[in-house]
Amino acid sequence: MKRIVVLGGGSAGVMFSNRMRREFSRDELELIVIEKSEKHFYQPAFTLVVFNLEDPKKLIRPTRSLFFDGIKVIIDEATQIKPNENKVVTAKNGEYSYDYLVIATGGRLVFDEPSGLKEGIGVAKNVFTFYNYDGAIKLRDAFADFDGGTVVSSVCEMPIKCPAAPMKFILMAEDTARKKGIRDKCRFVFTTPMPAVFSREPYASKLTSLFSERGIETVPNFTPSEVDHVNGTISDYGGKKVNFDLISVTPPHEGSSLLEASEGIGDAANWVRCDKHKMISLGFPNIYSLGDATDFPTSKTASGIRKQAKVLVDIFKAVLKSEKPTATYDGEIICPILTRYKRVMFAHFNYEEAISPAIESYANWVLKVHMLMPMYWNLMLNGLL
Ligand SMILES: Cc1cc2nc3c(=O)[nH]c(=O)nc-3n(C[C@H](O)[C@H](O)[C@H](O)COP(=O)(O)OP(=O)(O)OC[C@H]3O[C@@H](n4cnc5c(N)ncnc54)[C@H](O)[C@@H]3O)c2cc1C
């Protein structure tokens, strides 16, 4: 019997493992998941929490409860992969050997840079991030009390999870100010290290015109070097400075620090180096990866993982029979962009092309705000969608 060890029990680890358990019986395949957290968060709803569109308590479930019977879930931290010995070292339970390893350890938020970010968020009066659970709740509370001034959404570096999320924040913040009748007392600014608000057409043009119609300023090519919460300024390496009364910062992301201790698997930022179609490690023939952990040149989203999990199971259906896999991942992701109350635009594309038009609609809003989370818990994680 073969053994697959899966590192990480986030969206990617759960979707992949449950699909595998459905395909292969316990007599055929042993599945072990190593996950360090007892709790699983539905991160795509962090944005909804900020605008009071979702109850934060509904975003958390116990990690173990998400896995099918017959999957051994070990709550522990993987501290090193020894790819030449086919072993994983853990913090508490010693070593696990594997025939195949699947790395699904996601991304890590790094608050050490820009300077002053950690201190600013610690003070939590004018500097926030909604990229984690507590941060989303704090930003919700601060924004509810906001009665005028400059609101900034600042992206530090790419890649990040759901690259549209910082834009969703500034668009929804601007619309909320209109609804509260304080729009004329506010200024809205979006800073990005990229040359434009979004990288893919036709969504980039649509977002650029929405920003300009609604008076949201964009500061492109802005890589923050310092956040000064005392004076309310964010500066970049080129000497530009933007003032704020309330700022939401999307911190730099890196792959899991596990990759740093595991030679030959990750790149300089600890993303797993792998073939963007075949999902296999570039260094080792029995290591695969999916989800945010990878260096796939597409957006890091749960929607992409849904597709990747299906493809990786198809790859294993061939590999476990010693056949050559033919299934490939085409980079498809769907990102719902909240553009204002009751309107969402889907950015839907793959490595090669855009799949959906750049249209805001109420139907998309209903899907994103009311349906996607129940679909995630009941269908996507179970591998039914
Ligand atoms: C604000 C925000 C908005 C978003 N909006 C959307 C959206 O609208 N649509 C969408 O599709 N996606 C969205 N996403 C992205 C989506 O949530 C992620 O792409 C997805 O959750 C990533 O899943 P993952 O399993 O790859 O990584 P993670 O969810 O990060 O899971 C990785 C797991 O690995 C574990 N782990 C890490 N290192 C170790 C170790 N050494 N040992 C053991 N366990 C380890 C972690 O504890 C974690 O549970 C959003 C994300 C954010 C933050």
- At 341-361, the pLDDT tens digits run 999 999 999 999 999 999 999
- At 186-200, the pLDDT tens digits run 999 999 999 999 989
Give distance in angstroms: CA of 308 to centre of ligand 1. Answer: 14
Residue 356's alpha-carbon distances to 84, 194, 200, 202, 353, in angstroms, are 44, 23, 12, 9, 9
Reported confidence tier of residue 321, pLDDT bands at 50, 70, 90: very high
- At 210-251, the pLDDT tens digits run 999 999 999 999 999 999 999 999 999 999 999 999 999 999
- At 31-50, the pLDDT tens digits run 999 999 999 999 999 999 99
Domains along the sequence of the chain with CATH: 2-45+60-109+254-319 (3.50.50.60), 117-251 (3.50.50.60)
Determine if ligand 1 sits within 6 Å of the CB of residue 331: no
Reported confidence tier of residue 366, pLDDT bands at 50, 70, 90: very high
Give distance in angstroms: CA of 185 to centre of ligand 1. Answer: 36
- At 23-35, the pLDDT tens digits run 999 999 999 999 9
Determine if ligand 1 sits within 6 Å of the CB of residue 47: yes
Determine if ligand 1 sits within 6 Å of the CB of residue 163: no
Determine if ligand 1 sits within 6 Å of the CB of residue 266: no
Determine if ligand 1 sits within 6 Å of the CB of residue 152: no
Give distance in angstroms: CA of 34 to centre of ligand 1. Answer: 15
Tell me, yes or no, if the pTM score tops 0.95: yes
**How high is the pLDDT of residue 290?**
98
Look up residue 14 and give its two tokens: 């759960």
- At 118-148, the pLDDT tens digits run 999 988 799 999 999 999 999 999 999 999 9
